[in-house]
Each structure stands twice: as structure tokens, then as C-alpha cells.
């Protein structure tokens, strides 16, 4: 496992500059990156290269994911969004 690469990806996931994406990608990275294969880390890194608003729309199901970004990692992210949303404190959701 390449711990330096995982830390770099974790940093990028938490600091996208688009808060809504940060709140999904950051916790996802914390939870899942250490257990992903090299190919899956490559897929995650590729996703991080996509524009924030596009990536967020794909994760939330508001827009179809382009074929080049479809992967088992994207499916994990789509499922993880429910976990991430539930884990956000009510005051962070604006409630």
C-alpha cells in the first residue's frame, strides 16, 4: 500500500473548494482509501480530476456519470453519499 499516495488523495478529497463535495469525498477517503486496490485508487484519482460541480452531480444522481468515470469506486461513492449525509451534524446541514 502506498501510504503517501493515500494521504495525498485524502488531502485532495477534503479540500476540493466545493463544500458539498468535500463532505462526501473527504469522509469517503478516510473510510475507504486504505482498503482500495491500486486500480481503484487510480479510478478515485481520475474522479478527483473532474470539475467539482460535475462530480457532485454524478454522485448525487442529478446527472448521468460519463462512461469514462464509471467504475466500482463511483458506485461506492454513490452509495456512500447516504452515509455521509447521515453523519453530518444537523447544524452543518442548515437545520
The pLDDT tens digits for 60-91 are: 999 999 999 999 999 999 999 877 655 554 44
**Domain assignment of residue 95, yes or no:** no
Q: What is the pLDDT of residues 30-64, one digit of tens each?
A: 999 999 999 999 999 999 999 999 999 999 999 99
- Total domains present in the chain: 1
For 80-86, which contacts have Cβ atoms below 8 Å and span 24 or more sequence positions?
A: 80/24, 80/27, 80/28, 80/31, 80/32, 81/24, 83/27, 84/23, 84/24, 84/27, 84/28
User: Of the candidates 79, 77, 69, 93, which has an alpha carbon nearest to the alpha carbon of residue 25?
Assistant: 77
**Domain assignment of residue 77, yes or no:** yes
Domain of residue 22 covers 3-89
Q: Cell numbers at residue 16, please?
A: 476540493
**Domain assignment of residue 53, yes or no:** yes
Amino acid at each position: 500500500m502506498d501510504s503517501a499516495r493515500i494521504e495525498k488523495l485524502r488531502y485532495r478529497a477534503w479540500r476540493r473548494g466545493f463544500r458539498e463535495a468535500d463532505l462526501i469525498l473527504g469522509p469517503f477517503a478516510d473510510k475507504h482509501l486504505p482498503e482500495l486496490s491500486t486500480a481503484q485508487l487510480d479510478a478515485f484519482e481520475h474522479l478527483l480530476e473532474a470539475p467539482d460541480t460535475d462530480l457532485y452531480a454524478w454522485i448525487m444522481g442529478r446527472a448521468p456519470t460519463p462512461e469514462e468515470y464509471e467504475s466500482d469506486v463511483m458506485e461506492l461513492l454513490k452509495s456512500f453519499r447516504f452515509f455521509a449525509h447521515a453523519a453530518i451534524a444537523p447544524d452543518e446541514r442548515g437545520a
